[in-house]
Structure 1
């Protein structure tokens, strides 16, 4: 297939990066909102992240097996429709108003998004010149940054009202009393997921009627004889270290992302309206980091940029852990910029030279996202139980980024 015929397929795949960013970056807003509607503390609400990202640990291998037997396209369409169904479940959940119901919904949505991510990352990396795979994946992930920005700056404002009452502080004349307040805040969660579900269904229809090229590993006659999943791929050191680095990167990134609004409102003492604006700027920094990083990769090796960006994250986490307060918010803006290229760069370096085992390698790398289901909870626990030195909790993401430093320094090397 000619290179210019890759433009439309890549454009469709790029849209998936945008969509799952919308979904995952609504989680910090939902954590803040569920603290109101379900009367949770920050540690309890952080299990929203666990429910979402646990799907990324359970399903990548079955998904990779599914796509190896059928195709990337089949996996993408099924994932889009499953995530859309999950989003529509917010309507019955608004009637139940139970935390466990929301956890189940996030798990379903994440399972659908896991199909998209398991398919899209290796597809973008392999569809084209292998020497530019890191740059191409960073370009695709720039659309992920755009989705994160829109989710943080605009969709968060559809959900968060700016009011955070308790049973004791609720105004006496509030319409409907406590139940009226809870219902109002609960209904606010439905709108962004209705919008997301409709978009997912439309994109699924587009994929159904579109022709995606089969990459070489899919069209090979040997494909039918290959194992559906090859665990031996983990014997390759650059893959193994890539999985480890992705586990800690994802956990560190999500610890900062998911607690950003909680940090701003609870510890830095700013209003929800101001906090959502800062959250939008936080994701704008992430988007700019992706675009600038993609441009710089024309001149610099991906592994060298990974090393420098990860070191910057370590330094800024140190500043955050020492000073906290408003200084910590600005440090997090810097961290967001430098985190931007780490995930796609580590992913593309880890699946390099895998050939027919690309889907297997991709599955294990996506499974590493389970770091999101445990490291943020540890960070939230420390913040909640040691509130007088809350900022010290950010030592946890600092340690996580040290693994990324190692991967950019030595771990990426292909030895076997």
Structure 2
């Protein structure tokens, strides 16, 4: 009788946790959508506002600057008010930022769009800071790693969906040359540019309403006590702890490698559509967006293949090999160009797949009580996505989009060196 009662109680507990787990795992999908919609927005805003590559790259600068600014405040909020409150606040900020696309489009203001992206990113900083530990807290600790891996698998699916949404509902397929734009009468030119800017209203309104509805659902759903319990006595990190981290060369190398990796990843994906259209003249924007989708599918495949390879090859060594492969591919994209360069650039995603989590894990090795403040600095290192992407835009404007791929090559060299320098274990 006792065993039967225990089994029933365990089943009841699993049933109660099912809805909270679904709600939180979905967040990994949602921020994947938001992140990779930006890759389409760069191309779209370049056309809608007649921007240079540097100016269009500011989409990522505004976005990742939001992450940078809110990484530590999100952690502090989570410790003070609990995981669930941080998730709800993150979803509200995400939804509000998406809805700000509506007045930005009607005002035809690029600066307004950048502000909206900053607000979205601030919300995602709260979501990413709280969702990972919350997934581990929902259920049996023995299954925490399996739940987190399942949740992480939804992120690249969201990334692929984001590009598909952008290519289907935002990109119009109308891509006028500078000469054609110059030939348009002022009133028709203004109508065309406004038409393109308004293309984002439908998708982002739907996203905003859905996300705010999801926030309400999370707020009304009963979560385990561990999800809502504040931990005011647990510090994210004191000044002394951060000072101690700055005295660890190995850890600082990891933060640097993460900065360059995220910069390379965001830069390659942000300008892949642009590269395809320049290096393969006649490629329309929707076809180029499909190539970005292929790249993201390779990224997803690489996640599983990399995880399998790590059973036989030490993670640091695999990181070094994958970094070296991407250096070669970026050099082909920079100096060979054409279809071969495009295939090489698409192929980089396969080898990027393991880099973020592997750098993260290797950097935190042996930190002990410094692990939490160490993790917060590694999250802040994603500001590389803002810096490297903007620099690639500058190189493209003053040289070519092909030569801009030298910056990811240098970035992957830093990643490869970090992997190669890891202690042999």
TM-score, normalising length: structure 1 = 0.86
2:264 aligned with 1:264: no
Q: Tell me what 1:16 maps to.
A: 27
Q: How many residues align?
A: 407
Shift of 1:12: 3.8
Shift of 1:237: 5.1
2:390 aligned with 1:377: yes
Distance 1:301 1:125 in 2: 25
Distance 2:48 2:404 in 1: 26
2:160 aligned with 1:149: yes
CA RMSD in angstroms, aligned pairs only: 3.3
2:299 aligned with 1:286: yes
Alignment CA distance shift 1:7-1:26 (3 Å): same
Shift of 1:72: 2.0
Q: Please tell me whether the aligned partners of residues 350 and 412 of structure 1 are also in contact (alpha carbons under 8 angstroms).
A: no
Shift of 1:396: 1.0
Alignment of 1:200-211 (within 5 A): 200-208=211-219, 209-211=221-223
Distance 1:78 1:352 in 2: 31
Instruction: Give unpaired runs (5+ residues) of structure 2.
Output: 1-9
Q: Deviations over 1:45-96 (max 9, x none)?
A: 1111111111122111111111122222211110111110010111111211
Alignment of 1:73-84 (within 5 A): 73-84=84-95
Q: Tell me what 1:392 maps to.
A: 403
Q: Deviations over 1:209-239 (max 9, x none)?
A: 1415638xx979xx54443433525245554
2:327 aligned with 1:314: yes
The correspondence for 2:66, drawn from 55, 59, 75, is 55
Q: Tell me what 2:237 maps to.
A: 229
TM-score, normalising length: structure 2 = 0.84
The correspondence for 2:354, drawn from 337, 341, 364, is 341
Shift of 1:202: 3.1
Shift of 1:185: 1.0
Q: Deviations over 1:10-36 (max 9, x none)?
A: 544332221111111111211111112
Q: Tell me what 1:35 maps to.
A: 46
Q: Please tell me whether the aligned partners of residues 238 and 412 of structure 1 are also in contact (alpha carbons under 8 angstroms).
A: no
Alignment of 1:101-140 (within 5 A): 101-123=112-134, 139-140=150-151
Q: Deviations over 1:128-159 (max 9, x none)?
A: 879995x8755533321111111123432211
Shift of 1:277: 1.4
Distance 1:67 1:250 in 2: 24
Instruction: Give unpaired runs (5+ residues) of structure 1.
Output: none
Alignment CA distance shift 1:187-1:68 (3 Å): same
